[in-house]
Structure 1
Amino acid sequence: MELHSFFNSSTSYRVRIALALKGVPFEYVPVDIRTGEHRKEAYVAAVNPSGAVPALTEGEFSLSQSLAIVDWLDTRYPEPQLIPAEPEQRARVLELSLLISCDMHPVNNLRVLKYLDTVLKVTPEQKSEWYKHWVAEGMDGVERLLSKYGARPWCFGEQPTLADCCLVPQIANALRMGCDLDVYPTSMAVYRHAASHPAFQAAQPGRQPDFVAP
């Protein structure tokens, strides 16, 4: 099994956490999205038609989109289950996961930030304001959901789920970009708890073979 990944990609980070939690061995294949490697014909044709990371391959099988990959892993390697089977718990986990992956991440990913730079010609200050604004919009919702429905130490109880796989990378990237997250104590408590877990540690950007210090 191969994971085509970029160390600072939060979507790749989600899948690395899931693989580590399940103890599934894989070969790490770096894809440098800063240089456009994910857009090259060989990668798009052979690995991921959407031209993005992550992509998981096993033999002739190839799958992209982090949430689809985690769902496939849950079916193939059901322990520990990251998307609960119980309907209400499943709905809560997906609700939070989709808030992060559909509302927050798309407006602040690398291709959007590059578009702000190269096409719209915004200033660095304007780009930073853009990033922080959308993080705040999303984290406000995350914090309210966790405060109302969550159960510690993880997002929804005693075991990590897909929600934690999504939340931790989002917070890590927001902190890297200089966002103040102290106003989200429930979310940050989950993040700090995850920092002590071996699977979350193994998946950190700084522990990946393609890591480059800023």
Structure 2
Amino acid sequence: MKVYNYFRSGTSHRLRIVLNLKGLDWDYVAVDLRAEAHFDPAFKALNPQGFVPTLIEGDLVLTQSPAIIEWLEERYPTPPLLPVDANDRARVRALAAVVGCDIHPLNNRRVLEYLRHQLHGDEAAVLAWCGCWINAGFEALEQLLAADPKRGSFCFGGQPGLADAYLVAQVESARRFQVDLAPYPFICAVDQTCANLQAFVQAAPKNQPDAL
């Protein structure tokens, strides 16, 4: 199993967490977005969008981190990323979707590059943009976590799962974009709990072979 990814990519980060939680062996293939390596014809032949992550196993090529993570959950169901109860599974998926659908797409690299180069925004404008959408999502997530009686040390219950992988990767991005996390004690508590687990430590951007 090979995973084409970039150390600072939030989607790559969440996938690395899941791979580690599953205890899987995989090879790290760096795609340096800073050097525009994702536009290389050889990589775009694998992933026409030129996005990371991309997972390769034999002749199978998988793109889009939500699809890859769901595939991993179905193929390697132990340990599970989702609870048994259908209602609980929907709640956990919704927490993940706040990040995956509503926060991350608005502050990923291609959007920020458009702000910088096409709209001529300076770094203060870029940080303000990122902060706006991260805060909007985190405000909702904080309320959802606070109101959930099944919240434990993690987003749901006492074991790390799907929502934690999404959340921790987004918290990492929030820090990079200088977002004040003080208003989000429940989010910070989950992040701190996860920071004590090797699956999360090993997946952190600073611990990847292409990190500088």
Please tell me the TM-score bracket, short chain as reference: over 0.9
Runs of 4+ in 1 over 4 A off after TM superposition: none
Residue 40 of structure 1: how far off its partner (Å): 1.8
CA deviation profile, 1:70-111 (whole Å, cap 9, x unmatched):
111111111111133421111011101111001000110011
- The one-letter code matched in structure 2 to 1:107 is L
Contact 1:71 1:83 in 2 (8 A): no
Equivalent residue number for residue 121 of structure 2 = 122
Correspondence 1:48-63 to 2 at 5 A: 48-63=47-62
Identity of aligned residues (%): 43
CA deviation profile, 1:117-164 (whole Å, cap 9, x unmatched):
100001221111111111111111111111112512000001111100
**Any unmatched runs of 5+ in structure 2?**
none
Equivalent residue number for residue 146 of structure 2 = 147
- Please tell me the root mean square deviation across aligned C-alpha atoms, in Å: 1.0
With the length of structure 1 as denominator, give the TM-score of the two structures: 0.96
Task: Give SS of 2:56's match.
Answer: strand
Equivalent residue number for residue 21 of structure 2 = 21
**Any unmatched runs of 5+ in structure 1?**
none
Contact 1:17 1:200 in 2 (8 A): yes
Residue 50 of structure 1: how far off its partner (Å): 2.0
Task: Give SS of 2:35's match.
Answer: coil
CA–CA distance in structure 2, aligned partners of residues 127 and 201 of structure 1: 28
Task: Give SS of 1:38's match.
Answer: helix
Equivalent residue number for residue 202 of structure 2 = 202
CA–CA distance in structure 1, aligned partners of residues 94 and 77 of structure 2: 21
Correspondence 1:174-189 to 2 at 5 A: 174-189=174-189
CA–CA distance in structure 2, aligned partners of residues 94 and 197 of structure 1: 22
Task: Give SS of 1:51's match.
Answer: coil
- The one-letter code matched in structure 1 to 2:47 is N
With the length of structure 2 as denominator, give the TM-score of the two structures: 0.97
Task: Give SS of 2:34's match.
Answer: coil
CA–CA distance in structure 2, aligned partners of residues 184 and 33 of structure 1: 31
Correspondence 1:1-214 to 2 at 5 A: 1-45=1-45, 47-149=46-148, 151-212=151-212
CA deviation profile, 1:47-72 (whole Å, cap 9, x unmatched):
21221000110010010111111111
CA–CA distance in structure 2, aligned partners of residues 75 and 84 of structure 1: 13
- The one-letter code matched in structure 1 to 2:39 is R
CA–CA distance in structure 1, aligned partners of residues 204 and 11 of structure 2: 12
- The one-letter code matched in structure 1 to 2:58 is G
